[in-house]
Amino acid sequence: MLDTSSAIGIDIGGTNLRAARVSGAGAILERVSERIDREADAAVRRIVELVRQLDRPEVTAIGIGVPGRVDARRRAVLSGGYLNLAGTALAERVEGAVGKPVAIDNDCNMALVAEIAVGAARGRENVVMFTIGTGIGGAIVQEGQIVRGRGTAGQLGHITVDVNGAPCVCGRRGCVETTSSGTAFARHVLEAGLPSGTTLDEVIRRAAKGDEAAGRVLDAWIRPLRAAIDSAAAAFDPDLVLLGGGLGKAAHRALRKAPALAPWYQCPVMAAELGDDAGMIGAAVSALIEHRSPILPPVPLALATEPSALERPA
């Protein structure tokens, strides 16, 4: 009998809240989105409302990708940046409102699950991913399993690239998020005297034509990112480094100006394929894996976290 199970995937971005109903094969069936509310309780209420809009009898589970530090095993949000959901009991509140099991994880882990399931990393078991948008996130899969450490490993946006650099929201200085995120890019543009709203693609084109100001912006933005990629390659020796998020494809093009810094620490670097859909697809696929619904993509079961409260024995 053909399985028609689906799941709802929620992606909490720096700017937008996106939700989709996703099939077991990783295809988006329906979607909704809206601007994010930066107030935590209001954001949780909006998540519940979006889930209700997409809920159908065939939906078996809900996955939520959360920015910041998340302990997926305990379903606990520990900290956040642009939207801090720590202390909101997010999974429990959504579960209580809609009566279906909820899986939560860091949004970048969710995006990497999607790329392994149906995107650029299909068939790979050792992958590092940087997601480049308002901030920079990261995720690591080794031997088919998300690297979690004590619970929140994979914060690649906080690789230090300049010990004397700008302060970061994490409390340290010179994290790659402070130099090579979308927020940092806008700062570089203003500091160089370029028009506000200049895009990364425009800077790449202008730099290629010899525009010195654009060249300075591109250097300041891409070279620290290359250093972070090389550090991740040295630490994890992956099959592949993926660049995702809203600026992932442009960042991949910009890397032509910043080749690997050392011969030992090189591996293929590719742009992620799924764009803004990755977080939703990955959240839904993760929920289906965790709750053992049949799925078609070859996603290792090792990516699953522990069962949620609705599945645990009393």
Query: pLDDT tens digits, residue range 26-79?
Result: 999 999 999 988 889 999 999 999 999 999 999 999 999 998 889 998 998 988
- Among the listed ranges 127-141, 169-183, 293-307, which one has the minimum average pLDDT value? 293-307
Quick one: which of 280, 13, 247 has its CA closest to 130? 247
The greatest distance separating any two alpha carbons of the chain, rounded to the nearest whole angstrom, comes to 67
Can you give the pLDDT at residue 23?
A: 94
Quick check: 4 pLDDT over 80?
A: no
Q: What whole-number distance in Å separates Cα of residue 55 and Cα of residue 15?
A: 24
> What average pLDDT does the structure give for the chain?
89
In this prediction, residues 179-204 reach a mean pLDDT of 96
Can you give the pLDDT at residue 216?
A: 97
| Identity of the residue numbered 89 | A
**SS3 track for the chain:** CCCCCEEEEEEECCCEEEEEEEECCCCEEEEEEEECCCCHHHHHHHHHHHHHHHCCCCEEEEEEEECCEEECCCCEEEECCCCCCCCCCHHHHHHHHHCCCEEEEEHHHHHHHHHHHHCCCCCCCCEEEEEECCCEEEEEEECCEECCCCCCCCCHHHCECCCCCCECCCCCECEHHHHHCHHHHHHHHHHCCCCCCCCHHHHHHHHHCCCHHHHHHHHHHHHHHHHHHHHHHHHHCCCEEEEECCCHHHHHHHHHHCCCCCCCCCCCEEECCCHHHHHHHHHHHHHHHHCCCCCCCCCCHHHCCCCCCCCCCC
Can you give the pLDDT at residue 308?
A: 35
Quick check: 279 pLDDT over 70?
A: yes
Residue 134 backbone dihedrals phi, psi, to 5 degrees: -55, -45
In this prediction, residues 164-179 reach a mean pLDDT of 94
User: Which domains are seen in the chain, by residue range?
Assistant: 6-112+276-303 (3.30.420.40), 123-272 (3.30.420.40)
Quick check: 287 pLDDT over 90?
A: yes
Question: pTM, whole model, 2 decimals?
Answer: 0.87
- pLDDT band at 265; cut points 50, 70, 90: confident
Quick check: 191 pLDDT over 60?
A: yes
Q: What length is written for the chain?
A: 314
Q: What whole-number distance in Å separates Cα of residue 238 and Cα of residue 125?
A: 8
Spatial CB neighbours of 162, under 8 Å, sequence gap ≥ 6: 173, 174, 178, 179, 224
Written as six digits, the tokens of 180 are 């090579």
In this prediction, residues 196-220 reach a mean pLDDT of 96
Q: What whole-number distance in Å separates Cα of residue 161 and Cα of residue 221?
A: 11
Angle value at C-alpha 180, between 179 and 185, nearest 5 degrees? 90
Burial class (CB in 10 A: 0-12, 13-18, 19+), 171: exposed
Quick one: which of 269, 270, 266 has its CA closest to 234? 266
Can you give the pLDDT at residue 269?
A: 97
Name which residue leads in pLDDT, 269 or 135: 269
